[in-house]
Amino acid sequence: MNMNSPYTFCFVQVGDKSNPAVLFLHGFLGSAQDWCDVASFISKDYWCISVDLPGHGKTVVNGSEDAYRMENCANGLVDFLDSLDIGKCNIVAYSMGGRLALYMAINFPDRFDRVILESTSPGLKTKQERQDRRAHDNILAERLETGSLKQFLKEWYDQPLFATLRQDKERFAKMLTNRISNNKSDLATSLRMMGAGVQPSLWDQLHKMQARLLLIVGEKDDKFKRIAAEMAPKCPRASI
């Protein structure tokens, strides 16, 4: 365990520690609570650990903004697994958490057996794409810092991408209640330091994936269906 780690991870666990471990990572604006239903469903067979990522929930980051970078978050999570005496585990992740999980699986191949990624990209391929995304994310981060988090969440989830999510009004309202407890300044830092415009592209690293990989995409999500179809052939043990 790294005693100098800048992270104090808040996490939720369910299941018997003698079972295979599964690490769950949420997306931007999310929290460990996002995975509670899934974790509970499989907890008879797995030890499920869901983590608040840096900038989200109740995880504390004691350090500079560099601690929010993907590379450093990955190292911090490996230290976290060490603190739980988890040598090798499975990982399930969504969106931003999926990009982080993919980075971890590629750079720490001996630590992960199976990887399940939902709506996940290996990053942006070109320098121009990353530059454009950074500019876009900086605008969003400024809106987070200067405006109302409640209004930001409304505008964020009004995007067509989340149309089906909004249909379950009770579940959607509960999710918003969890989201509003986030610290908007920390969210802005996460967006600036671990957004897709900042992270290194992993497209040319996919051939290094040793873990079994399952890519999950929504039936109506044409963007991530295309990305998954391009990713899978580049990974030695991938399926969609």
Share of the chain above pLDDT 90, in %: 88
User: Nearest CA to 71 among 190, 200, 186, 206?
Assistant: 200
* Number of residues that make up the chain: 240
- Asked whether the predicted pLDDT for residue 3 surpasses 70, the reply is no
Domain count, the chain: 1
* φ, ψ of residue 116 in degrees (nearest 5): -120, 120
Share of the chain above pLDDT 70, in %: 99
Q: What is the DSSP pairing of strand 212-216 with strand 112-118?
A: parallel
Q: Per the domain annotation, does 101 fall within a domain? A: yes
Q: Per the domain annotation, does 83 fall within a domain? A: yes
Q: Which domain holds residue 45?
A: 7-239
Q: Per the domain annotation, does 214 fall within a domain? A: yes
Between helix 184-194 and helix 127-146 the angle, nearest 10°, is 170
Let me know the angle formed at the C-alpha of 45 by 43 and 51, rounded to the nearest 5 degrees.
Answer: 45
Q: Per the domain annotation, does 1 fall within a domain? A: no
Give the pLDDT of residue 9.
98
Q: Per the domain annotation, does 206 fall within a domain? A: yes
**pTM of the complete model:** 0.95
Q: Average pLDDT of 119-127?
A: 97
pLDDT tens for residues 134-157? 999 999 999 999 999 999 999 999
Give the pLDDT of residue 73.
98
Q: Per the domain annotation, does 2 fall within a domain? A: no
Q: Per the domain annotation, does 26 fall within a domain? A: yes
In the DSSP assignment, the letter for residue 240 is -
Give the pLDDT of residue 4.
77
Instruction: Decide if 130 contacts 196 (C-beta within 8 A).
Output: yes
Q: What is the mean pLDDT of the chain?
A: 95
d(CA 114, CA 112): 6
In CATH, what number is assigned to the domain containing residue 132? 3.40.50.1820
Give the pLDDT of residue 45.
98
Residue 91 bridge partners (DSSP)? 23, 115
pLDDT tens for residues 90-121? 999 999 999 999 999 999 999 999 999 999 99
